[in-house]
Structure 1
Amino acid sequence: MLQDASSPGFVAEVITLFCEDAERILTELTKLVDQAVVDFQKVDAYVHQLKGSSSSVGAQNVKLACIQFRQFCEENNKVGCLNALNVVKHHYYLLRNKFDTMLQVILNLFEKNVIEIML
């Protein structure tokens, strides 16, 4: 459960929850878009969800890629959706690497503060 924003683990928890959710959605999108007959409404619902959560954490490039993805869903364009999914994944994994670095810094700072408190 999320703590308030003054909690030391708040940012780490928000990032972790976003990444877990995004990866679950990307897995579902991959399965759906790989189907012989694509359910574009279902794909669009997942993309809409990812767009919203991306907005909440400031993942602008992922959000913009989702906007384009949704346009391909509206056009029932499978090839466009496949390409858009690859773009979304690309931006997500770039972001994920940055988040991993942030989480490591947060963990290091937290450990340093705990050690200083113990001394």
Structure 2
Amino acid sequence: MESKHVHEQIAAMRQSFFNELEGKDNPNFVEEVFTMYLRDSIAFLETIEEAMKTIPIDSIKVDSILHQLKGSSASVGANKVLKEVNKTRQVLGKGNLERTKASILELRKEYDSFKAKLEPYFQLKQANSMAQEK
């Protein structure tokens, strides 16, 4: 029972934090930040995947894009994506291209999972906002 109370407190604190971030002047701030993250990160991933198809692979370019994805993921708290980016950069740095390709597949899975978790949240939020307007 105490665990449920703690989870409710955490949810209320999280919502309070989101409310403070968004405020009256920018009610969709959090959604906008995540929308930008999703847009930019999918572009990074697609560029990485295309770069991995070239011969020879431009490891410096791939690492640079991974570094950008790392920063973006850290900024929004996409910790599992960030972890996979770090793994991929390590493997790439060792020059093992087959393991790098496999690692990029895992990175894509984590990104897709993160995106799949975000989308329903914002859909519910939007539906709730519309219901409150009525």
Quick check: TM above 0.5? yes
- Runs of 4+ in structure 1 displaced over 3 angstroms? none
% identical equivalent positions: 27
TM-score scaled by length of structure 2: 0.79
Written as runs of structure 1 = structure 2, the 5 A alignment for 1:11-90 is 11-90=30-109
| Corresponding residue for residue 5 of structure 1 | 22
Stretches of structure 1 that go unaligned for 5 or more consecutive residues are none
Stretches of structure 2 that go unaligned for 5 or more consecutive residues are 1-20
Q: Which has the higher contact order (CA 8 A, sep 6+)?
A: 1
Question: SS at the partner of 1:8?
Answer: coil
Q: CA RMSD in A?
A: 1.2
**Count of paired positions:** 112
Residue deviations 1:41-100 (CA, integer Å, cap 9, x gap): 110011111111111111110000000011122112211210111011000001111111
CA drift at 1:103: 1.1
The one-letter code matched in structure 1 to 2:128 is: L
The one-letter code matched in structure 2 to 1:5 is: E
The one-letter code matched in structure 1 to 2:131 is: K
Written as runs of structure 1 = structure 2, the 5 A alignment for 1:82-101 is 82-101=101-120
